[in-house]
Structure 1
Amino acid sequence: MYKSVSHPSSPSMISELSKISLICALYVIITVWLAPISFAAIQFRFSEMFNFLALYHKRYVIAVTFGVIIANFMSPTWFLDVPIGGVSTFLVLILCRYVTKRLENDIIKICITAVIFAISMFTVAAQLTILFDLPFFYTWLTVGVGELLSMTIGGVIIYWLAKKIDFTK
């Protein structure tokens, strides 16, 4: 008759918040630790591997989005990077979940997600073009290639981890 609603302090809610917080914190720590290669026209943001977790469970859309927002406060272009990077990440994660939801093969899901994220780097290129008068298409290419490289390496790691850890739970 009545639908059961989890109390905010229920074990399942605490478990969800813990998983979200853990991935958010890992994203921030890895991005900041590797800051010299995490922010620029040529970048390798290794923490982008956590984007793939959103393919396994929607909670990771929130985790990665907040991780990006917090990490982007460390960016030299934080005043644009925080809102644009946060919104862009959220929308692209939703898009990737939608595009891959009917696919069974995790490798294909990972490849599609990596390509979509690499293409989405036009937002970073636009910021750098506006702020530093860099050439848009060349900057999009360099940031996109860096994203594709970091997502490819991260995809292999997440694929391997998904064989050991059930990210859907």
Structure 2
Amino acid sequence: MNTSALKDSSRTSTRELTKISLVAALYVAVTVVLSVISFGAVQLRLSEMFNYLVLYNKRYIVAVTLGVVLANFMSPMWIVDVPVGGIATFLVLILCRVVTKRMANIKLKMIVTALIFTFSMFTVAGQLSILYGLPFWATWFTVGVGELLSMTVGGVTIYLLNKKIDLTK
């Protein structure tokens, strides 16, 4: 039996789990610290910047989804927000990874990802419309604008961070 390979595999698994846990925890921390602007019909969830990590490594699909699920327990409408937000995030992260996979330009990948996430805010607008009777189209617009702003600020942040730290590893 090759114990060296087993040790390397264990170390890799521990390293991967640590990175996933760290990103999930950061997502939750940023959302909770800024909770006053992270939930509702007008929101600026700056933790959405972590969505871009999926462009660098597929492990972040699990990390960000877990972060969203845990953060959404703080939502006033958590009973719906946890499952719907978690599933929607998971699916949109996979979609972004698939759509941008063959793109070489990271800036283009980030723009496409921001637009996909902005469009996907119909799920949040739908929840707010059903649970609180808010007008769907106006709510989709306000949540979408907030998402686009969050993704823009986050995109610049993650882009610059990747210049200092290789996010693919």
Q: Same fold (TM over 0.5)?
A: yes
1:10 partner SS: helix
**Structure 1 residues 6 and 107: alpha-carbon distance in aligned structure 2, compared to 1, 3 A threshold:** farther
2:36 matched to 1:60? Answer: no
Aligned to 2:158: 158
Paired-residue identity, % = 64
In the alignment, the residues of structure 2 paired with residue 72 and residue 158 of structure 1 have an alpha-carbon distance, to the nearest angstrom, of: 22
Question: CA 1:42–1:6 in structure 2 vs 1: closer, same or farther (change >3 Å)?
Answer: farther
TM-score by length of 1: 0.95
Can you give the 5+ residue segments of structure 1 that lack an aligned partner in the other structure? none
Q: Residue 74 of structure 1: SS of its match in structure 2? A: coil
Deviations 1:51-106 (CA, angstroms, capped at 9, x unpaired): 00011101100000000000000000000100000000000000000000000111
Distance 2:54 2:166 in 1: 13
Residues 1:142 and 2:148 aligned together: no
SS in 1 for 2:57: coil
Partner AA of 1:18 in structure 2? T
Q: Which amino acid aligns with 1:41?
A: A
Paired residue secondary structure (2:151)? helix
| Structure 2 Cα separation of the partners of residues 122 and 88 of structure 1 | 10
Unaligned runs of 5+ in 2: none
TM-score, scaled to structure 2: 0.95
Please list the CA deviations of residues 10-42 of structure 1 after superposition, one character each: whole Å capped at 9, or x if unmatched.
111110000000000000000000000000000
Q: CA RMSD in A?
A: 1.7
After superposition, residues 25-36 of structure 1 pair within 5 angstroms as 25-36=25-36
